[in-house]
């Protein structure tokens, strides 16, 4: 069965981001959960979902009693999912990712550790008005289109002073995976790099209101891009891919250039609610999700972190965000044993080295806005 990257999903009615928090779960029940998150099940499915939920709730309560943990778990729209449902909702095309990595040009930023002391102690690009609101990819493995569009939005705003929602659907519809590596693009997976390249080739990226998102429920559509009916707004001249698994270029670019598109292992993120997360498999991380890196900082109690924006709606995490542990000195690395997991391509590497919490340093990129746009 094809494995799509963790582009998880909100398969339910729209709910408020202000849901029950971890410290109010002592007398929480499945019946309350169903009402709060707008779930609707037949009597038979209700019983099955209740069993899944109650087992997960026990795990959440046990985790939150452990005072050594720097993050809290909580309930959200994913709490009654089966493991198979969660894995099905995954969207990076990893074989294509490794294929593009082998063709990269030299990075624009050096890998040295010099001048890190000159960087600000914290950065949050939301404070500068160049990060749009948290979005929801729905039941489509389209995280790669959201991570790309969001990062283009931010760099367009830096360049023009105008923050505009740009079209994930255009990327989704018009960026085929021509290598057919375990997917065909769209909800079947892709990468930020092929999205940047297609935006450059097609002439730019349209706005959200001229080319709206329609794949929420998991359907793919034909490309409807037109210079007349869906005219491009943001145009790119190139894009930059930073040195793989290297801390210094990432934090330099984040501080000095802007938000970044990153690939991570999000397989353990489903129950995250708050705090500085350090719960990924660091020995054998499995890269499966594209998100946006928008800042870094240090929590006086929980330590240093990366600030990451997800596309699972504001219901999830810290109003749609997660803070990942940031190792400021020696980087922890692991080996991805399944770089072609769920893909049909041959000839890729048998294993790859992946560094940083949840593999955050493995594949990092950003677009370069067309200066003549």
What's the sign of the alpha-carbon dihedral 79, 85, 87, 93?
negative
CA atoms of 268 and 287, how far apart (whole Å): 11
140 is catalytic: no
40 is catalytic: no
Enumerate the β-bridge partners of residue 307. Answer: 295, 323
Q: Which two tokens stand for residue 196?
A: 């940047």
CA atoms of 92 and 7, how far apart (whole Å): 8
CA atoms of 233 and 31, how far apart (whole Å): 46
DSSP letter assigned to residue 358: G
310 is catalytic: yes
Q: Are strands 321-325 and 303-309 parallel, antiparallel or unpaired?
A: antiparallel
CA atoms of 297 and 303, how far apart (whole Å): 9
Q: Which entry of 7, 77, 98, 143 is annotated as an active-site residue? A: 143
Q: Which entry of 19, 174, 289, 358 is annotated as an active-site residue? A: 289
Q: Which entry of 19, 310, 345, 358 is annotated as an active-site residue? A: 310
Do residues 95 and 179 touch, judged by C-beta distance below 8 A? Answer: yes
For residue 113, give every residue at least 6 positions away whose Cβ sits within 8 Å of its Cβ, in sequence order, or none. Answer: 247, 248
Which helix (DSSP H) or strand (DSSP E) does residue 240 occupy?
strand 236-241
Neighbours of 246 (CB within 10 A): 21
Quote helix, strand, coil % in the chain, to nearest 5.
Answer: 30, 20, 55
Do residues 220 and 172 touch, judged by C-beta distance below 8 A? Answer: yes
Residues annotated as part of the active site: 143, 289, 310
């Amino acid at each position: 069965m094809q494995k799509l990257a963790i582009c998880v999903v909100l398969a339910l009615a729209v709910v408020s981001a202000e849901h029950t928090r971890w410290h109010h779960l002592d007398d929480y029940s499945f019946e309350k959960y169903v009402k709060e998150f707008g779930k609707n099940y037949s009597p038979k499915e209700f019983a099955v979902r209740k069993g899944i939920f109650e087992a997960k709730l026990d795990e959440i309560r046990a985790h939150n009693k452990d005072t050594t943990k720097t993050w809290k778990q909580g309930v959200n729209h994913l709490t009654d999912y089966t493991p198979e449902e969660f894995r099905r909702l995954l969207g990076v095309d990893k074989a294509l990712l490794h294929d593009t990595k082998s063709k990269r040009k030299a990075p624009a930023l050096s890998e040295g550790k010099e001048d890190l002391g000159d960087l600000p102690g914290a950065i949050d690009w939301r404070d500068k008005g160049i990060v749009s609101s948290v979005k929801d990819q729905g039941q489509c493995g389209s995280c790669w289109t959201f991570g790309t569009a969001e990062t283009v939005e931010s760099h367009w705003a830096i360049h023009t002073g105008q923050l505009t929602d740009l079209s994930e659907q255009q990327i989704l519809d018009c960026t085929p995976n021509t290598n057919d590596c375990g997917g065909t693009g769209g909800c079947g997976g892709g990468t930020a790099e092929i999205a940047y390249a297609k935006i450059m080739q097609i002439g730019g990226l349209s706005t959200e209101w001229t080319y709206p998102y329609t794949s929420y429920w998991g359907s793919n559509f034909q490309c409807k891009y037109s210079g007349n009916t869906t005219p491009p707004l943001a145009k790119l001249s190139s894009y930059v891919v930073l040195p793989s698994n290297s801390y210094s270029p990432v934090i330099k670019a984040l501080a000095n250039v802007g938000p970044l598109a990153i690939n991570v292992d999000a397989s353990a993120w489903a129950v995250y609610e708050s705090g500085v997360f350090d719960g990924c498999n660091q020995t054998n991380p499995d890269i499966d999700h594209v998100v946006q890196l928008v800042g870094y900082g240090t929590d006086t109690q929980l330590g240093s972190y990366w600030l990451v924006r997800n596309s699972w709606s504001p219901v999830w995490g810290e109003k749609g965000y997660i803070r990942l542990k940031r190792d400021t000195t020696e980087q922890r690395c692991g080996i991805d044993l399944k770089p072609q997991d769920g893909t049909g391509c041959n000839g890729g590497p048998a294993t790859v080295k992946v560094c940083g919490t949840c593999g955050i340093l493995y594949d990092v990129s950003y677009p370069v806005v067309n200066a003549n746009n």
